[in-house]
Structure 1
């Protein structure tokens, strides 16, 4: 079958990009005709490896500078599109030029499956893509985190899709309530591999990873870890990722006297190695979709300490079995949970083994058949409907 995945910036970093690339690679390995369509391009090379059979197409190449109008103003930044609402987290990308490029592309398609991967792209597909194409909207974030303006557009237009896919059971219930009559399907993201080196619980290291943005809550993790080092000064926290909050987090490290205990590690392409050498994974997010780096940490038999934020951690973890869930935003509870695991290596080993078992649900061999079956079913229904209409 022919499958097109549309990403805002397939050349960037981020959880959605990584999981969509993993999905495209798996579908190509199964023999399907797979293309990734990147709305914009701002880097020379993709950050994640593509299967040799996956085609990569760009709609708006922004590497070589920005075309200016007669007054020298940057056109693609000056003019906003009309479909993508304010409140969409990436609304700033969708200038008139970029939005038009997406509309022109999706309206030109006449076959196969089109998978769009964020609300902006979903809304354009719902309103402008041909009904000849099977349209699937992927939602990588829970509905409640979106502003009211965006939720209203989702409710208004998502009924046009053949299916809306979500990551967790709680997401499924929320979207079904908001979109009565729409087909809402839960399919979790897959990790790239469950065959990972397990932690041996030999190094006094806590790892956290993600974009250095408010959502990820590293500003809450740091004061929690300041409490940890008072009891366990030999332990270290390593935070992997880049983002606009880097300077603020550096200042917070200094404020809490953590310069010898916490390191902002930046971006790495060897996160699996770092996870295997750690002993605990900490998730301090204010909200999540499905926290894939947390699940990847679980494949390394790492116990998890996490805020029970909406959504994700509580949909994956069983509190006290494969990790510890604490009230969202409760810094003292986060510190206490970390101290509890740090003080008990046997507990970390038991929870880590349980975490590795839980992570098997997210193995590619378990997740990818769900996608293949969904696409086949939707294409089959479209073909049968077309044949019936021609009689």
Structure 2
């Protein structure tokens, strides 16, 4: 073993996620923080449980300056709960369960070997509770273990993830939630190891975008959760009033064909542009004047941070504490009640119509979002490591 590692000398930091390379906010966060930690002199290893599904791979623009490992070549077999006598007597399903459990133990053993080679003072960050099911089988003795939830409490409570977080994260050194409000809800739910940590800005331009193009932009996965269908309903109320303006949508996903059909049904083909996926988020945002987000659920949306860092005023549904924390309603953006497409449309229309308001809110967004600068958030992470180590 080497001598005790200090923050200044660099730590071994493992970040374990569902996937190393699946498109989405958690992957963006993982690789941003991996790079930030690496730049601070830490030795980072990003571990994914499974590869990204076909068509959902995140494209990396250059070789990564840290190690990555994916434990499975393909997704592990799906199993159904063995309920009652019938379940216990289902030999085929029991074999599936046994095969999955054996595969999990083998992958956990592989993580154990990686963890065992770490220097004293090492930290393990688990970004998603599904990944924690594998980490829980590994030997993490000697590591600081930090679990994370990248969604709101309400989103967890609507699924099995609430009970799984309470089960798998109850003994970690710290469970990090994205906002103070949601952290309080987890504490009230019985978790006594909870803290909060916001996402960091992926970039911070020196000057805001010119906001000279007649474009409202939306960036995100084309899925039910992201609410693009509701954004289209809002745009249907706007397009005829502002025929010179376009709604530009970046992203791919399972809902794309249905959303395109909905666009045609609403008579919006001439005012909605489908741009697909982009690796140049800053460029896409810089060519717009307003950012719109109609998500049904969010955690601490990175695209919202990116839009504000670009200097765009944002109109969004008030769908989660993270959105309310990022946008100061009436100062640097406008919030609509979740699901109220008329109200969201009115907010977008207001930002289109009132250039002075648009520029004032955009400039305020550009300044206000600096509280999430990467250096400041990384400082908070390093302070947490030191605190937990005492």
TM bin, normalised by shorter chain, reads 0.7 to 0.9
Partner of 1:164: 175
Measured in 1, the distance between the counterparts of 2:279 and 2:49 equals 24
Partner of 2:231: 221
Structure 2 counterpart of 1:125, from 132, 135, 157: 135
Quick check: 2:20–2:51 contact (8 Å CA) kept in 1? yes
2:349 paired with 1:344: no
2:115 paired with 1:104: no
Measured in 1, the distance between the counterparts of 2:62 and 2:42 equals 14
Measured in 1, the distance between the counterparts of 2:263 and 2:331 equals 31
Partner of 2:161: 150
Report 1:307-318 matches (<5 A).
Answer: 307-318=317-328
Quick check: 2:177–2:196 contact (8 Å CA) kept in 1? yes
Report the TM-score, using the length of structure 1 for normalisation: 0.85
Report 1:157-306 matches (<5 A).
Answer: 157-182=168-193, 184-195=194-205, 197-306=207-316
Partner of 2:13: 3
Cα distance, 1:79 vs. partner? Answer: 4.9
Cα distance, 1:333 vs. partner? Answer: 0.3
Partner of 2:3: none
Deviations 1:327-368 (A, max 9, x none): 000010011111111110010000001101111011111111
Alignment size in residue pairs: 356
**Secondary structure at 1:201 match in 2:** coil
Cα distance, 1:199 vs. partner? Answer: 2.1
Q: Which runs of 5+ in 1 are unaligned?
A: 67-75, 83-93, 382-391
**Secondary structure at 1:175 match in 2:** helix
Report 1:54-69 matches (<5 A).
Answer: 54-62=66-74
When residues 51 and 189 of structure 1 are mapped into structure 2, their CA distance, relative to the original with a 3 A threshold, is: farther
Cα distance, 1:175 vs. partner? Answer: 1.6
Q: Bigger shift: 145-154 or 205-214?
A: 145-154
Cα distance, 1:148 vs. partner? Answer: 5.0
Cα distance, 1:58 vs. partner? Answer: 2.0
Quick check: 2:124–2:144 contact (8 Å CA) kept in 1? yes
Root mean square deviation of aligned Cα: 2.3
When residues 178 and 125 of structure 1 are mapped into structure 2, their CA distance, relative to the original with a 3 A threshold, is: farther
Deviations 1:65-88 (A, max 9, x none): x9xxxxxxxxx4355799xxxxxx
Partner of 2:65: 53
When residues 273 and 148 of structure 1 are mapped into structure 2, their CA distance, relative to the original with a 3 A threshold, is: closer
Measured in 2, the distance between the counterparts of 1:2 and 1:252 equals 49
Cα distance, 1:96 vs. partner? Answer: 4.3
When residues 361 and 278 of structure 1 are mapped into structure 2, their CA distance, relative to the original with a 3 A threshold, is: same
**Secondary structure at 1:61 match in 2:** coil
Quick check: 2:15–2:30 contact (8 Å CA) kept in 1? yes
When residues 169 and 266 of structure 1 are mapped into structure 2, their CA distance, relative to the original with a 3 A threshold, is: same
Partner of 2:91: none
**Secondary structure at 1:172 match in 2:** helix
Measured in 1, the distance between the counterparts of 2:189 and 2:107 equals 26
Quick check: 1:284–1:307 contact (8 Å CA) kept in 2? yes
Partner of 1:77: 77
Deviations 1:249-302 (A, max 9, x none): 001100110001012211011121111110000010011000110110101110
Report the TM-score, using the length of structure 2 for normalisation: 0.85
Q: Bigger shift: 42-51 or 311-320?
A: 42-51
Q: Bigger shift: 169-178 or 23-32?
A: 169-178
When residues 197 and 151 of structure 1 are mapped into structure 2, their CA distance, relative to the original with a 3 A threshold, is: same
Measured in 2, the distance between the counterparts of 1:101 and 1:17 equals 24
